[in-house]
Structure 1
């Protein structure tokens, strides 16, 4: 049994478990009620869902893992595949001991889709803008360039590469972004990003395959999120067999951090209380 370290009530307890291949997966757990697993996106970690989780903990038992590659979880094997992430969720759900609601943000929403299609005991899915267009061989040179840039310590150009080639941020927004050198106090998330790029490069952009997902699904988006995300989400909504769609006016891809209370309210509205 892993030892637990009690943090503040709002952060929950932190602990770790051993996944299928021996990788240590750290997680935080707080709240009570039906179990909900919150899966963070690329460049995230234990903190990513915290603003939303604070509005959910009175109704749900929340489990927030740091995905493999993101400290304090272990790095995992390379090259990583989405099947590895599903294996990690399988280990966590086994620990929980009950079917779960699975909530994913960005890349974490893609992980949730893979888990939903894999036969894991998932009661429902809540997805925030899975970047399903960012997949396949076209990402192989991006993966390799990112590795070269981070090996040289050039985080500014590495971050710009991700914004341009993976997130596909429009040029006008790129000009507004702060592309200065990251502060020394910022954690280095490049190992996690590198693993995520490995998974995306080996994946498919075919949205039709998600027709095999039968769990009730809430698909959330920002009204102002740039293309190709909106078109991708439209195709995903058409593929899913049991989907509810929600759009947040005036928001972009970052709404879970910008308007966490509103995002939490939609999750509460969708998920059953028991």
Structure 2
């Protein structure tokens, strides 16, 4: 494990493996860098891979107050450790963070985005505002477990599964990540596609979704690919929202190799 200091002094932890053109991996909500371990190992056969913990997760620090701009600075610091520029892969809300970072002018050479969870229905902004407010209330009251359960309920997990997970050995680790759910809510904004932001990204981009994923995620991928100036869309048969390294990895490797 390595660390780099972000602009505000926060220590950002990352693993670095492989050799070649640098690639940085950005995780989504309720996840630390371990979620991309297998993908990092697969890509390391052809690339130098930096797989990092976003602030507040795993081995990284968490300086307050939070702002999306601080997370963009964190990614910039990791890219600096990669040599000053890098290809970037982001999954779920991590894809939205990667998109915002590229739009902010970070030196991203190629941008790959897995199922950014934008919504297009007219009620989406209201639902997102209600979710963010309730999340803030639970976290403010120290109810981390209930905050994580709220997130899981919001993304569609059934109550029986949530109850089982609350009894599982992994639950304390998920509770530890609960404060960062508010960070992902901030990254998502009102949960709709920020068309102006996306349209400003000139980086060659690949937008990916699973063939068995939720329809709104496939729709979001199509909308984003249509908005990015230099992009292509790819559906991977048989996959849902989970990034399966053995399927996604070879596709990313070909894209990052140019």
* Structure 2 runs not aligned, ≥5 long: none
Unaligned runs of at least 5 residues, structure 1: 1-13
* SS of match in other structure, 1:192: helix
Q: CA deviation at 1:132?
A: 2.7
1:138–1:201 Cα contact (<8 Å) kept: no
Structure 1 residues 208, 195: closer, same or farther in 2, change over 3 A? closer
Shift in alpha-carbon separation, 1:78–1:218, aligned structure 2, 3 A: same
TM score, norm. by length of structure 1: 0.82
* Offset at residue 210 of structure 1 (A): 0.6
User: When the two structures are aligned, how many residues end up with a matched partner?
Assistant: 250
The worse-fitting range, judged by mean Cα deviation, of 261-270 and 202-211 is 202-211
State yes or no: 1:271 paired with 2:256: yes
- Give the structure-2-normalised TM-score: 0.87
Shift in Å at residue 143 of structure 1?
A: 2.2
Among residues 163, 168, 178, which one is paired with 1:179 in the alignment?
A: 163
* C-alpha separation in 2, matches of 1:130 and 1:198: 14
In the TM superposition, 1:73-92 aligns within 5 A as: 73-81=60-68, 83-92=69-78
Q: Which runs of structure 2 are paired with 1:1-274 in the superposition (5 Å)?
A: 14-81=1-68, 83-133=69-119, 138-150=127-139, 151-153=141-143, 155=145, 157-165=146-154, 167=155, 169=156, 174=158, 177-180=161-164, 181-185=166-170, 186-187=172-173, 188-201=176-189, 205-254=193-242, 256=243, 259-272=244-257
Q: Give the conservation status (yes or no) of the 8 Å contact 1:208–1:236.
A: no
Relative to total residues, which structure has the larger helix share, 1 or 2?
2
d(CA) in 1 for partners of 2:190 and 2:228?
22
Once the two structures are superposed, residues 222-258 of structure 1 have per-residue CA deviations (whole angstroms, 9 ceiling, x without a partner) of 112113222222111110111122111122111x1xx
Structure 2 CA distance for partners of 1:22 and 1:199, relative to 1, 3 Å: same
Q: Is the 8 A contact 1:209 1:239 kept in 2?
A: no
RMSD over equivalenced CA pairs, Å:
2.4
